[in-house]
Amino acid sequence: MPPAYRNALLLMALALAGLGAGATSGDDETRPAGARIDALAARGELRLVRVQEDADFPGRRHLRYDQVVGGARVVGAQLVRQIDGEGRTLSVHGRFLEGLAADTTPALRAEQAARAAEAASPWGARAVGEPELVLLPLPAGARLVFALWVRFDQNLERIFVDARTGAIAWRYDDLRTEAAVGTGTGVWGDRKKVSADSGPGGFRAEDRLRPPALTTYDLGQSLSASSVTFTGGLLDPARVARSADNNWMDGAIVDAHVYAGWTYDYYFKRHGRRGIDGRDLPLRSVTHFLPPSLGFANAFWDPFQNAVYYGDGDAVYAPFAGAIDVVAHEITHGVTQYTWDGIYAGESGALNEAFSDIMGTAAEFFHEPAGEGRMRADYWLGEDLAFGFDPPRSAVRSMQNPSAFCSETLGICDPDHYSRLYRGPLDGGGVHHNGGIASQAFFLLVEGGLNRTSLRRVLGLGPQHRDKAERIFYRGFTSYLTPSATFADARAATIRAALDLYGEAEAAEVASAWAAVGVQ
């Protein structure tokens, strides 16, 4: 609660105490207090405004009454009466101001009061909602006022305008800090809910609703901020992305923040995992990394900051946060880091990449409908990122047909079979390319089909059992692999996981999938 609001409450309490006989009663006084409420309600001095069932004691109810004088509510004067199932009064709490009488005929109209409040606020202030004619108890006496809210910049104030003179009788900051769900527009123009944090300065991209802190930063494409943040290892809290009205329009920020939450959800719901370390370690997303002139069309996992960095793309690619498979891929590197921690070179590096592709695609299928097109789940990687959606040209890899992607630098196409493993020195021993072998095995396990190199056919578990394949690979990789794992180790680990989780039939399908890609 902001200090201003606490002060407001304090002032109100003093005013109420000063004006009169607070009618708070305990259990020993409940019967006469209940009868008195009935009498006051019958006379129109109390107005029942809310009835609340008691969640702890079935049958009990809590009735809230506003004090009313001449049709005007008295600010802060409310009684709450607890009754049992038979209507007997069990307790009465609150404040009722005795002897309060006032002429409740305003000299101003509500619109005039709204204009007066706006005029007494910073430029651009706007009254929101309908002004309410109320009696405001102040130490000097009760004043007939219009109560209304005024919004300006990133503030929301409660203002009480004297209904006779138009003067400001009282005002306080009414913006409370709490978790707030707003809306956002993603990179591709889609609307999403954004779980944010609200405070006096507006809204910050900090997810307060999920168990770990998920925070999204905005480096503003600044070279110096990018340098300080990445090279210097300093994530400046002032760089947390903000919105004035919780309506987020920066697609990169929206997608980085929302997809990080969705990835957490995927791991929690599918695998029971609580974040990258399994214990809700905070996760950061860093957007607008580097200036556009540098054309950083990539995303990466920073193992020291537990952060994913997203570039804003180039002439071909949109901001890299705009695809959930990419976001989940990078976050999965964090999961790998806290589980089997595969060495990022050679076969273990390829498995590291493959596991990220597999989990990234799994998260995509979890949250998006299967099909062709943008924001549809498929077995392309990063297919949503290019401005022109035209896979394979607009994608970066394929699990269904890895060899559709060829590298001029390495002089190879991504292998779909172990016999085609790239063994050269580039790309860490081909980590991004050789991963296609394990990815193809996963694809065949889910969908079944033919491996183009071995021509071996796999029956597969079927897309309706996609969850089984995902659990098998997740368990195999995170529970049984070690940092120097090989493809043969991955085969053994996933067969073991299939036996753990399901049985011989599933384990046989896993073995068949690996056999099709030449891993025995």
Partner 1 sequence: MRRALAIGLALLATPTDAAAAEEPRFVAAVAGGALLFSSGWSATSSYAEFAEAARIDAAYEPGPGVALEASLAMRITRRLRLATAFDWTRRNGEAAIDAQLPHPFFFDRPRRIEASASGLERTERASHLDLEWLAVEGRVELAVFAGATALRAEADLVERVDYAHEYPYDEVSFRSVATRRVSSDLAFGWNAGASLEWRFSRRLGLALQARYVDARPELTAPGGETVRIDAGGLQTVAALRVRF
Active site residues: 330, 432
Q: Which stretch binds partner 1 (CB under 8 A): 42-50, 144-152, 345-353, 422-430?
A: 42-50
| Residue 195 engages partner 1 in binding (rule: CB under 8 A) | yes
Nearer to partner 1, 154 or 183 (CB): 183
Shortest distance in whole angstroms from residue 113 CB to partner 1 = 23
**Any contact of residue 270 with partner 1 (CB under 8 A)?**
no
229-248 binders of partner 1 (CB under 8 A) = 246
Separation between Cα atoms, residue 201 and residue 220, nearest integer Å? 18
The residue among 56 and 504 lying less far from partner 1, judged by its C-beta, is 56
For partner 1, which stretch binds (CB under 8 A), given 52-60, 116-124, 152-160, 424-432? 52-60
Does 51 engage in binding with partner 1 (CB under 8 A)? yes
Rounded to the nearest 10°, the torsion over CA 86, 88, 92, 97 is: 110
Work out which of 176, 269, 279, 457 binds partner 1, going by CB under 8 A: 269
- Gap between the Cα atoms of 434 and 453, Å rounded: 14
Q: Quick one: DSSP state of residue 42?
A: H
Nearest Cα residue to 445 out of 468, 411, 412: 468
**Contact at 8 Å (CB) between 255 and 322?**
yes
340 and 483 in contact (C-beta within 8 Å)? yes
By rule CB under 8 A, what string of x and - marks binding of each residue 389-418 to partner 1?
------------------------------
Strand ranges in 70-119 using DSSP code E only, listed in sequence order: 72-83, 89-94
Helix or strand run (H / E) with residue 508: helix 504-516
Token reading at 74: 């008295």
Q: Confirm or reject binding of residue 210 to partner 1 (CB under 8 A).
A: yes
From the list 96, 146, 230, 262, which residue makes contact with partner 1 (rule: CB under 8 A)?
Answer: 262
Region binding partner 1 by CB under 8 A among candidate stretches 206-214, 220-228, 311-319, 415-423:
206-214
Interface residue with partner 1 among 76, 94, 106, 182 (CB under 8 A) is: 182
Does 193 help bind partner 1 (rule: CB under 8 A)? yes
- At its nearest, how many Å lie between partner 1 and the CB of residue 57? 11
Identify the residue among 173, 265, 314, 500 touching partner 1 (CB under 8 A).
265
Binding of partner 1 by 61 (CB under 8 A):
yes
- Half-sphere exposure in the Cβ direction for 331 (13 Å, CA): 37
Q: How far is the CB of 383 from partner 1 (least distance, A)?
A: 22
For residue 57, give the 3-state DSSP assignment. coil
The reply to whether 261 sits near partner 1 by the rule CB under 8 A is: yes
Q: Is 277 in the site for partner 1 (CB under 8 A)?
A: no
CB 140, min distance to partner 1, A: 34
**Rounded to the nearest whole angstrom, what is the least distance from the CB of residue 180 to partner 1 in the complex?**
9
Residue among 49 and 128 whose Cβ is closer to partner 1: 49
**Residue 231 identity (one-letter amino acid):** T
Strand ranges (E), 319-455: 380-381, 397-398, 406-407, 412-413, 449-450
Q: Counting beta carbons within 10 angstroms of the beta carbon of residue 29, is it exposed (0 to 12), middle (13 to 18) or buried (19 or more)?
A: middle
Place of tokens 């394990």: 438
Our finding on whether 209 is near partner 1 (CB under 8 A) is yes
Sign, CA dihedral 63-67-69-73, equals negative
Residue 286 pairs in a beta bridge with 217, 309
**At closest approach, how far in Å is the CB of 107 from partner 1?**
27
CA separation for the pair 322, 325 (Å, rounded): 9
Q: Does 370 bind partner 1 (CB under 8 A)?
A: no
Q: How far is the CB of 208 from partner 1 (least distance, A)?
A: 10
Q: What share of the chain is helix, strand, coil (3-state, %, to 5)?
A: 35, 25, 35
CB within 8 Å of 118: residues ≥ 6 apart: 125, 126, 127, 150
Tokens standing for residue 442: 């996963």
48 is an interface residue for partner 1 by CB under 8 A: yes
Shortest Å, Cβ 194 to partner 1: 8
Q: Does 465 bind partner 1 (CB under 8 A)?
A: no
Residue 349 contacts by C-beta under 8 Å, 6 or more apart in sequence? 342, 343, 428, 429, 431
Which residue in the set 49, 128, 249, 406 belongs to the binding site for partner 1 (CB under 8 A)?
Answer: 49
E strand residue ranges, 343-389 = 380-381
Tell whether residue 186 is a contact of partner 1 (CB under 8 A): no
Q: Could you say which of 172, 268, 338, 344 contacts partner 1 (CB under 8 A)?
A: 268
Give me the least distance between CB of 84 and partner 1, in Å please. Answer: 11
Binding interface with partner 1 (CB under 8 A): 48-55, 61, 181-183, 191-193, 195, 209-211, 246, 261-262, 265, 268-269
